[in-house]
Amino acid sequence: MKNILITGGAGFIGSHVIRLFVNKYPDYTVVNLDKLTYAGNLENLKDVENAPNYVFEKGDIVDEAFVFALFEKYAFDGVIHLAAESHVDRSIANPMEFIHTNVIGTVNLLNAAKTHWKDSSDKRFYHISTDEVYGSLGEEGLFTEETAYDPRSPYSAAKAGSDHFVRAWFHTYKLPVVISNCSNNYGPNQFPEKLLPLFINNIIHNKPLPVYGKGENVRDWLYVIDHVHAIDLVYHKGMVGETYNIGGHNEWKNIDLIRLLCKIMDIKLGREPGTSEKLITYVKDRAGHDMRYAIDASKIQEELGWVPSLQFAEGLDKTIDWYLDNPEWIKNVTSGEYQNYYREQYENR
């Protein structure tokens, strides 16, 4: 029996990680720690909420006393740390919130693990990060695990800071850590402030599709379920002290992806070709907008045998269908109804 703490487990990526671990490892007690902010939604986990090996704890990783008490209560054998503020636009508007959660929260978890893991030979602290810590690429080249950090936004700077602290606890205190840096995730249950769910929802309701600058920024897209399988591998088989880049081998200019999305949505919604593309509206570019991200994922492929399972066309089709099939989820999550319900439920228990 092992007790595993997964932070941010009610969020987009975290909920898929929770589901995999609960179902795949019945001998693990999986503890989901989430603050239930706007992007944390326990409705994402309705299918596993009554599983005998699943526990939910509402709390904030910035609260040091709470984090230490949680480690005391469950005697965790491992941590998979996903909890983070993650939206670049929000970080530009409110950087301090990102510093508190992404940096201070991570250090609280590191200190709790260091304090409670007297014998850490069979323990693992897995910190999940982003490719944005590497900065911006030109037209050529890929991010490798050796690429120097060059964050350009408050979000990526906060994530870079947390990465450095994780490595410092490994080198200074011998805490058994592993880090991964992933590219843009997409798929079911993503809060509709990110590009794909936002634009899918806007197309459904004939709202403008705001495109930064000329839409020429390039991103590497990774289907969330593929990422979750990579997380499973890194947690169980990754080398302590190592970093693994996880990417989709799937670069798209924003504007090309948006036009493809528009064409597919017109077909699925039975609209005249070109209808959705007319919704594209070019807006002032984001401050400090990185031009291109692209991941070299050869290390995780060679060492752990991971490769993305889905071609992008299939992953995009599955994603669009999920949002079309779950209009109530979009409605409720954007209105905050789910969050309000679960906050009240756990505050009053």
What pLDDT digit, counting tens, does each position of 2-22 carry? 999 999 999 999 999 999 999
How far apart are alpha carbons 288 and 278 in whole angstroms?
27
How far apart are alpha carbons 86 and 91 in whole angstroms?
8
Q: Are 327 and 201 in contact (CB under 8 A)?
A: no
Task: Please write the tens of the pLDDT for every residue from 30-54.
Answer: 999 999 988 888 999 999 999 999 9
Catalytic entry in 126, 155, 244, 323: 155
pLDDT at 332: 84
Task: Using pLDDT thresholds of 50, 70 and 90, give the confidence band for residue 229.
Answer: very high
- Asked if 119 is an active-site residue, the reply is no
pLDDT at 300: 98
For the beta sheet containing 124-130, the strands, ordered from the edge strand earlier in sequence to the opposite edge, are: 54-58, 28-34, 2-7, 78-81, 124-130, 177-182, 243-246
CA distances from 345 to 18, 53, 169, 182, 303 (A): 20, 20, 37, 34, 44
Whole-model pTM: value is 0.93
The pair of three-digit structure tokens given for residue 135, joined into one six-digit string = 């900065």
Give residues with Cβ within 8 angstroms of 41, minimum separation 6. 10, 11, 15, 189, 191, 333, 338, 339, 342
Q: Residues 164, 177, 7, CA angle at the centre, nearest 5°?
A: 85
pLDDT at 116: 96
pLDDT at 206: 96
Catalytic entry in 43, 60, 85, 131: 131
pLDDT at 348: 46
DSSP-derived letter for residue 149 is: P
Exposure on the CB side of residue 296, measured as CA atoms within 13 A: 14
pLDDT at 341: 56
- Asked if 131 is an active-site residue, the reply is yes
pLDDT at 340: 63
- Asked if 149 is an active-site residue, the reply is no
Q: Where are the alpha helices (DSSP H) in the chain?
A: 12-24, 64-74, 88-93, 95-98, 105-116, 154-173, 195-204, 224-237, 254-269, 298-304, 312-325, 327-335, 337-347
pLDDT at 61: 98
**Is residue 120 predicted with pLDDT exceeding 90?**
no
How far apart are alpha carbons 166 and 158 in whole angstroms?
13
Q: Residues 305, 306, 309, CA angle at the centre, nearest 5°?
A: 130
Catalytic entry in 34, 85, 132, 220: 132
Average pLDDT value for residue range 342-347: 53
How far apart are alpha carbons 148 and 146 in whole angstroms?
6
Residue that the structure tokens 């009610």 belong to: 10
Task: List the domains of the chain with CATH numbers.
Answer: 2-189+221-252+291-311 (3.40.50.720)
Q: Are 282 and 214 in contact (CB under 8 A)?
A: yes
What is the pLDDT of the chain when averaged over all its residues?
Answer: 93
CA distances from 212 to 92, 209, 258, 279, 283 (A): 15, 10, 12, 14, 5
How far apart are alpha carbons 347 and 4 in whole angstroms?
23
**Is residue 262 predicted with pLDDT exceeding 70?**
yes
Nearest to 162 by CA among 143, 144, 179: 179
Give residues with Cβ within 8 angstroms of 94, minimum separation 6. none
How far apart are alpha carbons 223 and 188 in whole angstroms?
9
Task: Please write the tens of the pLDDT for every residue from 84-111.
Answer: 998 888 899 999 999 999 999 999 999 9
CA 183 to chain centre: 9
